[in-house]
């Protein structure tokens, strides 16, 4: 099974792909998490990536591609994968086409207003990257009801999974969020266009929390009868 999850920053790509991958027994490949790991370990690649990430810009394609190809060689990808945060550019999409054929694109749709509120409230574990959210969103936008409950850790600022400290990513701060949404809109449009008509899109309007949405996404994926 070879899936991609698309969606603006803050739409829940990380949360959904993390929950879906083990159910489908596929690997989750998240280039953003991989870069953050490099930054944490203060590697050469990490130092380079941080210069772009802190400004909300993309890491250069050649660097990203090299890291991605290495990751794809790992044995956990033998049953397939879900890609989160990749491909982000036409160059990456074309390179990916040369390596493999994506079967379904899960396309998360969330209004900007909700994204900004959600991202400002996101907290991540410094150790394992687990994601939490302190926002409790109840909003009606254009007649659609959004009920997005917080995802709180059991103990304040402490990761449930590994006990690590929670923090706010530098690029989840308001001045960078707006830049990231702009970058996403400009860069995602051509990538979405690249796949339109070639690969089926599964459009998912994220109107509820993960407990409900994960089940919905899995039900929809089943309909494609993928191996």
Torsion angles phi and psi, residue 134, rounded to 5:
-95, 0
**How far is CA 26 from its chain centroid?**
16
Is 28 an annotated catalytic residue?
Answer: no
Give the residue carrying structure tokens 């929390």: 209
What does DSSP assign to residue 59? P
Does 59 bind ligand AMP (CB under 6 A)? Our answer is: yes
Q: Which of 24, 53, 191, 204 binds ligand AMP (CB under 6 A)?
A: 53
How is residue 132 written in tokens?
């939490």
| Shortest distance (Å) from residue 144 CB to ligand AMP | 25
Does 64 bind ligand AMP (CB under 6 A)? Our answer is: yes
Find out whether 200 and 107 touch, Cβ atoms under 8 Å: no
Is 161 an annotated catalytic residue?
Answer: no
Is 122 an annotated catalytic residue?
Answer: yes
Q: Is the dihedral of CA 150, 88, 127, 120 positive or negative?
A: negative
Q: Which of 6, 86, 132, 195 binds ligand AMP (CB under 6 A)?
A: 86
Q: How many CB atoms lie within 10 A of CB 17?
A: 25
**Catalytic residue selected from 55, 169, 208, 216:** 169
Find out whether 102 and 196 touch, Cβ atoms under 8 Å: no
**Catalytic residue selected from 2, 13, 36, 71:** 13
Does 18 bind ligand AMP (CB under 6 A)? Our answer is: no
Q: Which of 15, 17, 18, 31 binds ligand AMP (CB under 6 A)?
A: 31
The residue range among 52-60, 127-135, 160-168, 206-214 that interacts with ligand AMP, by the rule CB under 6 A, is: 52-60
The residue range among 19-27, 54-62, 200-208, 213-221 that interacts with ligand AMP, by the rule CB under 6 A, is: 54-62
**Catalytic residue selected from 71, 88, 118, 123:** 88
**Catalytic residue selected from 2, 19, 28, 122:** 122
| Shortest distance (Å) from residue 85 CB to ligand AMP | 3
* Distance, CA of 105 to CA of 103 (rounded, Å): 7
Give the residue carrying structure tokens 């339109």: 196
Cis peptide before 87 (omega within 30 of 0): yes
Bridge partners (DSSP) listed for residue 82: 3, 28
Judged by the rule CB under 6 A, the positions of this chain that interact with ligand AMP are: 9, 31-32, 35, 52-53, 56-59, 64, 85-86, 88, 92, 171, 180
Report the catalytic residues: 13, 88, 122, 169, 180
């Amino acid at each position: 099974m070879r899936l991609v999850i698309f969606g603006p920053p803050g739409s829940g790509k990380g949360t959904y792909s993390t929950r879906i991958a083990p159910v489908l027994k596929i690997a989750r490949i998240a280039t953003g998490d991989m870069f953050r790991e490099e930054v944490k370990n203060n590697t050469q690649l990490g130092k380079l990536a941080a210069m772009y990430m802190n400004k909300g810009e993309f890491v250069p394609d050649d660097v990203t591609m090299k890291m991605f190809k290495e990751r794809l060689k790992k044995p956990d990808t033998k049953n397939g994968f879900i890609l989160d945060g990749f491909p982000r550019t036409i160059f990456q999409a074309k390179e990916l086409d040369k390596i493999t054929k994506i079967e379904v694109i899960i396309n998360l749709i969330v209004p900007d207003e909700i994204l900004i509120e959600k991202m400002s409230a996101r907290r991540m574990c410094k150790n394992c990257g687990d994601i939490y959210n302190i926002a409790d969103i109840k909003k009606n936008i254009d007649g659609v009801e959004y009920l997005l409950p917080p995802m709180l850790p059991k103990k304040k600022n402490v990761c449930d999974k590994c006990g690590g400290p929670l923090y706010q990513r530098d690029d989840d701060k308001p001045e960078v969020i707006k830049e990231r949404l702009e970058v996403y809109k400009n860069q995602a449009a051509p990538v979405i266009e690249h796949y339109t008509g070639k690969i089926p899109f599964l459009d998912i309007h994220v109107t509820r929390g993960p407990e409900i949405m994960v089940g919905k996404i899995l039900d929809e994926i089943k309909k494609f009868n993928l191996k």
